[in-house]
Amino acid sequence: MSRLIRCECGFVARGDREDDVITTIRQHMGEDHPALLESVAIEDLRGWIEMD
């Protein structure tokens, strides 16, 4: 079962492991939402993960 995080802009980060999803969403945030990247902790991101 894969994991995902949905960004408010519509981007969906997917991966088989939590760390993969977090890496992908942080890369996206760094490119498209740099201010958000600075204000969201990794533990917050873990709470946003959904099972797919």
pLDDT tens by residue, the chain, 52 residues: 899 999 999 999 999 999 999 999 999 999 999 999 999 999 999 999 999 8
* Distance in angstroms (rounded) separating the CA atoms of residues 31 and 18: 20
> What is the Cα–Cα distance from 51 to 4, expressed in whole angstroms?
6
Q: d(Cα 1, Cα 44) in Å, to the nearest integer?
A: 21
pLDDT at residue number 25: 98
pTM: 0.91
Going by the DSSP 8-state scheme, the letter that residue 9 receives in this structure is T
